[in-house]
Structure 1
Amino acid sequence: MIRHGEIVSYRLTPLGSNYTFVVKIELDGNEGHAIYKPKEGEAPLWDFPSGTLYKREYAAYLLSEILGWELIPFTIIRDGPYGIGSVQQFIEHDPKQNYYTMEGEWADQLRVVACFDLVANSTDRKANHLLVGSGGKLWSIDHGLTFHSDMKVRTVIWDFCSEPIPERLLNSLTQLQEWLDSSAEDHPSLLQELITVLSNEEVDALKRRLDWILEERIYPGLPGRSRRRRG
């Protein structure tokens, strides 16, 4: 539906510096909602190339799928009322829940998000960028500021400083590292797509981050940063 459906209505959301719309999509008598972020609605930034944030939303989704972590709602690039942009599945969620309300039961899912932020170089991980969907599934949203070639991780998640990154996550990163080191024809289709979305410099930086994470194998921290212990 998100890929082929017709956007029949849209409304601007009041939050954020970039234009973000909740859109209604219809296809074959069915309807659903999505989040539409048009290229033309992006505010200029001094440290990110203009007109690329919507691509980074899509790139983050691709990375999550390549790793098998399924953190990010289904996302594509398509046309909308204001031109090309990212369109992401809308997640029904409890608006009272955010990072600061999540206690020990969320620890394992938050460890995945924290590791993802290192790999994707997330520069804007805010508390309300984590949604609790049906069945307690944790979803990660708002990834327009990712994949910069300079290390710029900025996040609220410092719970796991100096802890070992779980082995299953490291295994996924090792597989990605091996794919990136192989010839292009051996890349999975989603990885081929990711490489076309990012610049060569950003792909090289992704490789360097993978090397660093797999060498250190722990969650980094900041001097003096207090840690909220979890289960």
Structure 2
Amino acid sequence: MSAPERIPPRSVTTAELLTKGELKVRGRIREASNAVLYCSVTYEGREASCVYKPIAGERPLWDFPDGNLAQREVAAYEVSEATGWGLVPTTVLRDGPYGEGMCQLWIEAATDKDGSELLALVDAEEPEAGWKAIGFAEVGDGKTALLVHADDERLRRLAVLDAVINNADRKGGHLLPADEGRLYGIDHGVTFNAENKLRTLLWGWAGEPLTAEAVEALTELRAALDGALGTRLAELITAAEVDATRARVDALLTTGKHPEPSGEWPAIPWPPV
């Protein structure tokens, strides 16, 4: 008589863990303008650290009156996943100790990275090879320095994502280098506005042709916006904002170029880092 077949234990996905797991608050990240709680989450034997941002802890913003910031963070994750680039940590909407909010997987920063390989201030008029100019910044005593970012394919993908989601606040502190060469973008609450509000440090490719990889990702993203992704976004942001997202993707594919500052809105967030 043969032994019964052993069924291996089911693997819990990160999304399941964040959505269904028991959430325990371990501390608060006080540098943030809204309530940001550092938590642990456990489910079916798996445990992880995460960030929980309850909607109740959000400060109202006059230029983002439709819906809440937590749902925009989830929408940014959904769009990131649709590009296939995985630029945003797994993010879900769930109930928690302080009500409904955004829950995002905590990413440990790479121990050998301090961000200097991504952004720098240089005493020069033009960037060196491997760097892209952002603009001049005051550094005190009436002096200025050139702010530059790396000519890095990971940053370039993030610049495309920001153009799609209309990110109004891409600061240096929102860039998270992780192990194995990964780079994540975090803090996507002020995104998806129907009006053009793109503010970012990643202007180095402005007006340049999109890469073939970006065109392919945007083409697939546009199809997804007319399918399951569009349906999902409609649960998170307004119909006008979903339409505006489609229009931004259409514009990128039509021009075939990275967008340039409009001049109607401050192009760089403050403070930039």
> Which residues of 2 match residues 67-78 of structure 1 at below 5 A?
67-78=83-94
Find the partner of 1:120 among 144, 153, 165: 165
Cα deviations by residue, 1:41-88 (Å, 9 ceiling, x for unpaired)? 000111002651000000000001112121000010001111000000
Identity of aligned residues (%): 38
Tell which structure's C-alpha radius of gyration is larger. 2
Partner residue of 2:119? Answer: 100
Cα deviations by residue, 1:144-187 (Å, 9 ceiling, x for unpaired)? 00000001000011111221111121122122323445xxxxx2
1:214 and 2:253 matched? yes
Relative to its length, the structure with more helix (as a share) is 1
Cα shift at 1:223: 8.8
> Which residues of 2 match residues 21-170 of structure 1 at below 5 A?
21-49=37-65, 52-94=68-110, 96-97=114-115, 99-100=118-119, 107-170=152-215
Q: How many residues align?
A: 219
Residue segments in structure 2 that go unaligned for 5+ positions in a row? 1-16, 121-129, 132-149, 268-273
Q: Is the 8 A contact 2:230 2:242 kept in 1?
A: no
Query: Cα 1:43–1:223, aligned 2, differ >3 Å: closer, same or farther?
Result: closer
**Structure 2 residue identity aligned to 1:14:** R
Find the partner of 1:17 among 27, 33, 40: 33
Partner residue of 2:231? Answer: 192
**Structure 1 residue identity aligned to 2:259:** P
Measure, in 1, the Cα distance between the counterparts of 2:77 and 2:151.
21
> Which residues of 2 match residues 178-189 of structure 1 at below 5 A?
178-181=223-226, 187-188=227-228
Measure, in 1, the Cα distance between the counterparts of 2:25 and 2:52.
11
What RMSD over aligned residues (CA atoms) do the two structures have, in Å?
2.3
Cα shift at 1:8: 2.4
Normalising by the residue count of structure 2, what TM-score does the alignment of the two structures yield?
Answer: 0.74
Query: Cα 1:50–1:196, aligned 2, differ >3 Å: closer, same or farther?
Result: closer
